[in-house]
Structure 1
Amino acid sequence: MLRYIPFEGWKQTANEVNYKYPISVNTNCPHCKVRVNYKLSWATRTKIVEYAKSSCPSCQKLSIFIFITKASGSGLSGDLFINPSGDVRHSLSGIEDAHGLSTGIKNAYYSTIQAFNGHQWIATTVLCRRVLEGIVKGIVNENGKNGSPILAQQLKQLPDQIDFSKPILTLADAIRKAGNIGAHFDEDKEPDQEVAESLMDVLDYLIEYLFILPSQIEQLHNKIEKLGQSDVQELDESE
């Protein structure tokens, strides 16, 4: 099974006649789970599908990289995948195209995934809270309201900006509280894998609800509108 490596993981790239491809990437090894840097030497130059093998600097086990070309601006680039995928958490499908989600928040979300896959449970809980803070602050500021700098107060302001149901607000508050626990040292209250995994699930639900689903609904609506316009045009031409 293939695992997608987002562009943020590309450490170095090469350009060959408007053809941009990665030659060094940072990602979690599917075998030992450690985040490492892979050097990529591509065996082919088909400009359709490229293939490379690279060993993990930590455990020395081999992984296969696949680069699938696509148009990018005035040239070519593509999507990068690693095989095997390993038992790691993947970023949400559709998050890169989600409207209203800033590049900074997306990068913070990718960092959270990386921390989780690196088994850094405390860092994961803190980063989940950081992503939540960025999302909430963005919504409050976008609606022209000077919100409180305190996240708990910002969460209370959210129902004035968006039609939330109680479960969604409860999910958001759970991320805030767990992030607070992770940010302060207490041997008796350290988040473990179960807490970190649950927080990642909750964060994904929240991002899907706020950004990905609305974007997908808008795209579907636009497609249906275009279909309707083409039907009307065909009727006009047949009369």
Structure 2
Amino acid sequence: MCRRSLEGLAKTALCVELQREVLATQAEALPPHVNLGKPLLKLAGSVPKGGDLGAYFSLEEESTQELATLVLYLCEELIEYLVALLERIDDLNVKLESLAKSGRAGVY
């Protein structure tokens, strides 16, 4: 099910010729077709000029519960995107290599 979901996501961004390729090839072909840096660039546009996200939590000015929640969610998702996702990918690759060495590749 995960593989089909990933294939579907890749196919929406790729030309017809690349849609016929295996998922690994599709994933390698994505960067020129999908702006993977867009989330970070959009975040940069959200940060106040000359400030940072912490400015939303100033002691002098009151922040709304909604804004505070949105900024906290954003920080959590950003950590997931920049740190946790890479670690999970590394962990998956180590596990897949281990399965391949044990002759159980493709069992997942």
Give me the TM-score of the superposition, normalised by structure 2. 0.50
CA positional deviation for 1:169: 2.9
Preserved contact between residue 172 and residue 206 of structure 1 (Cα < 8 Å):
no
Number of residue pairs matched? 67
2:81 equivalent to 1:209: yes
After TM superposition, the runs of 4+ consecutive aligned structure 1 residues lying more than 4 A away are 175-178
Structure 1 residues 220 and 178: alpha-carbon distance in aligned structure 2, compared to 1, 3 A threshold: closer
Structure 2 contact 57–68 (Cα < 8 Å) conserved: no
Tell me what 2:100 maps to. 228
Q: CA deviation at 1:222?
A: 0.6
Instruction: Tell me the percent identity.
Output: 33
Q: Which protein shows a greater Rg?
A: 1
Partner residue in 2 for 1:35: none
Gap regions ≥5 residues in structure 2: 1-34
Q: Take 1:181 and 1:212, find their aligned partners in 2: how far apart are those partners? A: 25
Partner of 2:60: 185
Within 1, Cα distance between the matches of 2:73 and 2:36? 19
In 1, Cα distance between the equivalents of 2:59 and 2:90?
41
Partner Cα separation in structure 1 for residue 53 and residue 97 of structure 2: 43
1:174 Cα deviation from its structure 2 partner? 3.1
For 2:44 and 2:75, locate their aligned partners in 1 and report how far apart those are by CA, in whole Å.
Answer: 8
CA distance in 2, matches of 1:173, 1:183: 19
Structure 2 residue corresponding to 1:197, chosen from 51, 54, 69: 69
Taking structure 1 as the reference length, the TM-score comes to 0.25
Retained in 2: the 8 A contact 1:181–1:191? yes
Q: Read off the aligned partner of 1:201 and give its amino acid letter.
A: Y
Deviation at 1:164, TM superposition (A): 5.5
Could you say what secondary structure the match of 2:103 adopts? Answer: helix
Query: Equivalent residues in 2 for 1:60-209 (5 A)?
Result: 165-171=37-43, 174=46, 177-183=52-58, 185-186=60-61, 190-209=62-81
Q: Secondary structure of the equivalent of 2:60?
A: coil
Distance in 1 between residues matched to 2:70 and 2:90, nearest whole Å: 29
| CA distance, structure 2, for counterparts of residue 225 and residue 219 of structure 1 | 10
Task: Give how far 1:178 is off.
Answer: 4.2
Aligned partner of 2:7 in structure 1 is none
Gaps of 5+ in 1: 1-162, 233-239
Residue aligned with 2:101, SS: helix
